[in-house]
Amino acid sequence: MSTEENTSPEEVVQQEPVTSTESVAPAADSAPSAASGAFASFLSLKESNPKVFFGAIGGVALILIVLFASGGDGNKPALNGPVIKNLEIGQVYHLKSANAYDPSATVRLVSTPGAIAAYDDTEEADRNGACQHIAQGTSVRVLEFADAYGKQKTYTKVKVEDGSCQNTEAWALSIDIQ
């Protein structure tokens, strides 16, 4: 006979339904106790078998050192940036903005070398001044050089060979002359 057959209807006890908070609470309490149990067993390894304990720590440290030391790719391409050409006085070159990818960008010409670093052209009148911003590709003739910041030939005095500013003499950064 089964238990259902042995019990009488009066003896059947009704159980209340289990709520969701009651079923989650034991699981939430078991996670920290499981973590503390694992940590406690790892620390007890220090007393019972110190070679394994310190070997595990050394193994983790070795893995971290290998990961950090392996670094990135050793075959990185060289950076290709603007280079000051070996300009010669009297030769004709073209203006090319070294720091712009936009073909409509202009090259700044100033009346004295070094004024480029101190120049602020936030005003519209400064941007549209006579022969201050020359289109890229404009032909220029090199007249002389100026040194700055411990480098030779940092600035170049040029004479504009074509366009609306033809025969204008001004200074430009040597890196903008290609």
**What confidence score (pLDDT) does residue 5 get?**
58
Q: Are 141 and 161 in contact (CB under 8 A)?
A: yes
Question: Do the domain assignments include residue 107?
Answer: yes
pLDDT at 115 over 80: no
Tell me whether residue 170 is in a domain.
yes
User: In the predicted model, what is the mean pLDDT of residues 13-42?
Assistant: 63
Statement to judge: residues 63 and 110 lie in one domain = no
Of all helices (H) and strands (E), which one includes residue 3? helix 3-6
User: Looking at the domain assignment, is residue 152 inside a domain?
Assistant: yes
Q: CA 83 to CA 78: how far, in whole Å?
A: 14
pLDDT-derived band of residue 36, with 50, 70 and 90 as boundaries?
confident
166 and 122 in a common domain: yes
Determine the 3-state secondary structure of 50 from DSSP. Answer: helix
Q: Would 158 be classed as within a structural domain?
A: yes
Same-domain status, 28 and 100:
no
The answer to whether residue 85 is domain-embedded is: no
Specify whether 26 is located in the same domain as 99.
no
pLDDT of 27 higher than 60: no
Interhelix angle for 50-70 vs 20-48, to 10°?
100
Residues 117-153: tens digit of each pLDDT: 555 555 555 555 678 888 888 999 999 988 888 888 8
* Structural domain that includes position 23: 19-70
Query: Domain ends where: 70, 103, 132?
Result: 70
Dihedral sign computed on CA atoms, order 164, 167, 168, 169: positive
Domain count, the chain: 2
Name the residue type at position 45.
L
pLDDT at 152: 85
Chain segment 42-97, per-residue pLDDT in tens: 788 888 888 888 998 999 999 999 988 887 666 666 656 666 678 899 999 998 88
